[in-house]
Chains A and B, each alone.
Chain A
């Protein structure tokens, strides 16, 4: 691990075009280049071994994802190694980027594999235990660092003050002592011994050697003399530097975002369960199953599923155009969740946006105390949805909850006859609308406040001269001027509302989605399919349907912004 960091520092420490190297750089470059060519040949051989190891079945059979990934990686590495060996010998201009790419990636992959062989990822869990055992010294360290920070802040104002300097020093000493205490309390002996256990395994040693070699090769190729030897143009240098700086981010982006995104689309075309036994390609069947509806008109007022096609259940009954209709769906829960979320959206979004519009218009004035109110309104959106939902669960309690008690006080309900807010179908989702609005309006208020800053002040001045009333100003100036903000706020709030999950999970307990599907939401349906019923292919299809709905909202917003930019952005 440490080798990589050293190599990295060397790398970008030396990579700049302005001349700074000593004139006798070329002295042993030839020897090193020969070594590098050899390294690439060895690397090609190691890649073959790597492919074979990754393909291996039996004792250390890899799960299929890393197996394919490593095979693919080593196959590409093999080709590039061979090419790089050739290019290095022939001093080809492309040899440097090729060699750098393969060595750098090999360093990272090797380091990840070494960490895995050392069990370092699982050890993060043990780290949690260590922190638990040493929580008090940890807090003391935090206090020490806080002193340092405060001391520095004070020193920034008065650089020669004695007190703050003492405070800073005391903070460092405290943090230092507490660090020792921390290590003792956390007791890392178990981790250290398991580290040495894995150190003796041949595979670990081989992987470490490969990693270190790749790191050294990267460092050498990155260096100025190598760059000059291969005659690297400025644009290549820039590209290499850019990718090097971006690489930690970009690789994570590819592994934990781009790949999962495509993989989820792929999975959605399969009948795919978690146990990995059944995995049949079924085309659009998952999507068809989720979206299928069956509409039958019938004379019998109490017709059940028997009038529907096979595999359909009754979604709803209706009387339209003097006839009785039965609507069936193959996935009733999903359709109910769509119905619920539409209802939720229609109520919750205005509740989260309208108060924000009004309140922000007041807060935007220069009256004293506005910042305090702004801060207060913001608190629900940062406090954490689980804690907040637990509080509201108590507030909504039918017998001892505050909501019913307050309704009693104003005479809207009878003591002991209170509404079962969360246990009755008619009010369960409504309760969640209230919680969502309460949580979100403060954040939206702040978004609106930003919008207020772009309203030209002379509009208000003109209105004042004309003697416009407050209501007229709000109606004729503020609201139209905030049109763009309103649109943005509506879209972001809708996207949030469409993904309703946490609030329902807590408030609808013990049966999330209940009572009797009244609070079933699309994300909840997805969660159930994926992790309770283990139908991950079908759940992925649900996820993509939801994604497409959300994407509709987003692209609407994007198009609007683009149109406005095209129109000259006069707003």
Chain B
């Protein structure tokens, strides 16, 4: 709609238009941002609620800052009742939970050695309990011990004498921005995604190269050589585009079994280097090249293959780029066929999509690694699309509507 108007109303319309476009763009982009963020999160940050977009890591302090001697940095925590920052010096101390006899609802946690036994007993809720004395703010308080558990010893960073024993999960860990890039290397090595990645690269290169060669040859034959049966064959090719792949899955599977290609990358490559769609695409392009160019070369005695590879193919670069992009996206992203063929659970034959689907989905414990894998799988096709957009968008539109 190239209708242009001016005036305040037009401005309003334009703002609303861009507002709509931007909000749709946000809906499109947001899941990818979530993926990027999750793929760089730390293990203790992935199940937090509310969900966050900024990957965070625990803030730490050198052990020497709290009078310690270890090499490991210590994580920092905060407590509701104090403004000071504490370092967790020891996360496995025996903690005793005491309750003062005059206020049974209060819990005071102390190191188990801090309580002093008095030898007296008291009955609480029908149970006989030993009475202890502990120091609270310099005063002795009579308490009984309601529970023994394990917790952490926290030392204030500002004042090393300010120490407290608390349950670790009651303390609020201090976080700061910190993407965990090791997720990517971990998923490649530990989750064996590296092998799947190289398999996918191999399959994609082979499929794209094969499709380009067979489509150029076939497209040229359909476009320029007037052989008997060409019309009928071309109709057959056109009709084949209408057949959904599901119909071919079972017979192709049996064919692969018979060839001994089950569980092998051959089965992902060889059946897919022949493409009716690519042949069609190349034919359309070759037909559009003026015949005079070819005729001049034929007068110079050039053979058909010389004409094809030296003259037609360089002219057909946009079509080849389109074909390569389609082939790339198809081979890289294909899932159903690998799922059927690479079925023995042998990770050496897996491709990325398959590895990702087995790596985990809902309920997986290390979704940060899963998302790192997903990012690795999604980035190449997105980049290829962005680079090849010019060809891709124009041709996917025009070829579809012919």
Binding site for B on A (CB under 8 A): 9, 12-16, 18, 20, 63-66, 116, 121-122, 124-125, 127-129, 131-132, 135, 138, 235, 238-243, 245-246, 248-250, 252-253, 255-261, 263-264, 267, 274, 355, 359, 361-367, 369, 373-380, 382-395, 397, 399-402, 405, 408, 415, 422, 438, 442-443, 446-447, 449-451, 457, 460, 463-464, 470, 473-474, 478, 485, 488, 492, 495, 499, 501-502, 505-507, 509-510, 523, 526-527, 530-531, 536, 539-540, 543-544, 546-547, 550-551, 554
Contact = CB atoms under 8 A, between A and B. Distances in A.
B136 interface: no
Interface of B: 1-3, 13-14, 17-18, 20-21, 24-25, 27-32, 34-35, 38, 47-51, 194-195, 197-199, 201-202, 206, 213-215, 217-218, 220-222, 225-230, 233, 236-237, 240, 242-255, 257-261, 264-266, 269-271, 273-274, 276, 279, 298, 301, 303-306, 308, 329, 332-333, 335-336, 339-340, 343, 348-349, 353, 356-357, 361-363, 367, 370-371, 374-375, 377-378, 381-382, 384-386, 389, 393, 396-398, 400-401
Contacts of A264: 247-248, 250-251
A391 B34 contact: yes
A499 B238 CA distance: 20
B3 A526 contact: no
A384 B333 contact: yes
B344 to A, nearest CB: 12
Nearest to B241: A554
B20 A121 contact: no
Nearest to A510: B363
B45 to A, nearest CB: 11
A390 B363 CA distance: 11
B294 to A, nearest CB: 12
A405 B333 contact: no
A161 to B, nearest CB: 21
Contacts of B385: 378-379, 382
A257 B248 contact: yes
Nearest to B219: A249
Contacts of B397: 446-447, 449-450
B269 A20 contact: no
B259 A66 contact: yes
B258 A245 contact: no
B351 to A, nearest CB: 9
A50 B215 CA distance: 32
Given A250-B218, A463-B3, A377 B353 contact: no
B371 A9 contact: no
A261 B251 contact: yes
A132 B31 CA distance: 31
B254 A122 contact: no
24 contacts: A13-B306, A121-B266, A131-B201, A132-B195, A235-B228, A241-B225, A241-B304, A242-B225, A246-B217, A248-B218, A253-B276, A256-B255, A362-B20, A382-B329, A394-B35, A394-B38, A397-B362, A438-B28, A447-B401, A478-B1, A495-B244, A499-B244, A502-B335, A531-B340
Contacts of B301: 16, 18, 20
A250 B217 CA distance: 10
A509 B265 contact: no
B1 A379 contact: no
Contact of B271 (A256, A392, A402): A256
A392 B361 CA distance: 10
Nearest to A13: B303
B361 A390 contact: yes
B31 A550 contact: no
A558 to B, nearest CB: 8
Contacts of B236: 258
A16 B303 contact: yes
Contacts of B229: 239
Given A18-B301, A382-B381, A488-B401, A400 B48 contact: yes
Nearest to B362: A393
A406 to B, nearest CB: 10
A485 B401 CA distance: 8
Contacts of A362: 1, 17, 20-21
Given A248-B214, A446-B393, A547-B246, A391 B35 contact: yes
A246 B24 contact: no
Given A64-B258, A128-B265, A238-B226, A422 B381 contact: no
Given A128-B199, A245-B221, A394-B371, A530 B51 contact: no
Contacts of B206: 124
Contacts of B270: 121, 256
Contacts of A261: 243, 247-248, 251
A472 to B, nearest CB: 11
A250 B251 contact: no
A401 B50 CA distance: 9
The interface centre, meaning the residue of A253, A258, A380, A447 with most chain B CB atoms within 10 A of its CB, is: A253
A533 B3 CA distance: 60
Nearest to A557: B242
A344 to B, nearest CB: 16
A483 to B, nearest CB: 13
Given A249-B218, A392-B31, A474 B1 contact: yes
B398 A450 contact: yes
Nearest to A488: B401
Contacts of B246: 499, 523, 526, 543, 546-547
Contacts of B279: 249
A443 B353 CA distance: 21
A131 B227 contact: no
A249 B212 CA distance: 11
Given A250-B233, A495-B244, A387 B378 contact: yes
A547 B243 contact: yes
A121 to B, nearest CB: 4
B260 A121 contact: yes
Contacts of B214: 248-249, 252
A25 to B, nearest CB: 16
Contacts of A248: 213-214, 217-218, 274
Contacts of B248: 257, 260-261, 264
Given A257-B240, A365-B1, A125 B349 contact: yes
Contacts of A464: 3
Given A131-B198, A249-B218, A405 B51 contact: yes
A560 to B, nearest CB: 13
B386 A375 contact: yes
Contacts of B240: 253, 257-258
Nearest to B304: A12
Given A373-B25, A443-B396, 14 more contacts: A13-B305, A16-B303, A116-B259, A252-B214, A379-B29, A390-B361, A391-B32, A405-B50, A450-B397, A450-B398, A451-B401, A460-B1, A506-B361, A507-B361
Nearest to A536: B250
Nearest to B353: A386
Nearest to B1: A365
Nearest to B385: A382
B397 to A, nearest CB: 3
A256 B248 CA distance: 9
Contacts of B336: 501-502, 523
Contact of A547 (B218, B247, B306): B247
A259 B256 CA distance: 13
B259 A390 contact: no
Contact of A253 (B32, B230, B274): B274
Contacts of B243: 257, 261, 547
The interface centre, meaning the residue of B243, B250, B370, B375 with most chain A CB atoms within 10 A of its CB, is: B250
B302 to A, nearest CB: 8
Contacts of A377: 24-25, 28
Contacts of B27: 438
The interface centre, meaning the residue of B213, B257, B333 with most chain A CB atoms within 10 A of its CB, is: B333
